Amino acid sequence: MPFHQYFNGEIFPVDTALFKTNDLGLLRGYGLFDFFRTYNGVPFRWDDYWARFENSARLLKLSLPLTKEATSRILADLHALSGEQEVTFRFVLTGGYAPDSVHVVQPNFLIRTEPLPRDNPAGKLKGIKVLPYEYVRDLPEIKSTNYVHMILMADEMERQQASDLLFYKNGEVSELTRSNVFIISGNQLITADRNVLHGITRRVVMELAAPHMQVVERTLTLQELLDADEVFTTSSTKWVMPIVQVGDRQIGDGTAGKQTLFLQGLFEKYVESWGR
């Protein structure tokens, strides 16, 4: 069966054109999104994702047209229409159609059902390279639709065989373009506590790590990261992904660290049992 999408009260095939050209998401880049997936046919950490989506909408002063319960029913319908065991869901909430190109009248709410993204098994085992990039996102707690820096640097990342950008500003690390970042130093697991999107995978990894090591949220410097024993990134698509090179600088011995792979294993077991 084809994938479908929900838009303002109706369900359409996923390739249906929906938005008018005076949407504030198009005219002003005023919009937010979220992205999550199922495991064993059950939406992963749905309560957490909805809470984050609600928070993003509140911070952008956009009203949500549906309750959590109504949205959950739509997710079930879209999942059933897909005919797939596992899917991803992409929420998009924009400023809607603005006659004066400025003021929000009624937000537009889109939910897309999509196939699972391509996995990177080699990266999970061998680690990835990222490029340092001096930038901090505006309103980092909001999962906005603005990914201009990632797109501008896409060709350069490909040229340097890098998987992502590592954001830092004034020597302080925040996150990657689409994921959070951690370092391991001794028995400490450290992650930035500001200028970051509070990732759900980030939260799960911190929960899983707590019985095994000291988990610390604080300011994280670029120099600390470069000197760390191990570095990894977390997201819905990356899970726990080792970072073994930042620009020209190798992390540790240049291989995926033992503690990173241990946490990766804990996360894999966690999602394997999700919903069972």
Tens of pLDDT along 87-141?
A: 999 999 999 999 999 999 999 999 999 999 887 888 999 999 999 999 999 999 9
User: According to the model, what pLDDT value does residue 64 have?
Assistant: 97
| pTM greater than 0.85 | yes
Strands (E), 135-199: 164-169, 172-176, 180-185, 188-191
Give me the domains of the chain, ranges plus CATH numbers: 4-114 (3.30.470.10), 121-272 (3.20.10.10)
Spatial CA neighbour of 10 closest among 1, 22, 18, 21: 18
The residue that leads in pLDDT, 156 or 275, is: 156
Cβ distance 245 to 130 under 8 Å? yes
pLDDT bracket for residue 1 (50, 70, 90):
low
Token look-up 């998009």 returns: 92
Burial class of residue 201 in the structure, from the number of CB atoms within 10 Å of its CB (0-12 exposed, 13-18 middle, 19+ buried): buried
Structure tokens at 218: 């604080």
Rounded-to-integer distance, Cα 57 and Cα 226, Å: 35
pLDDT at 200 over 90: yes
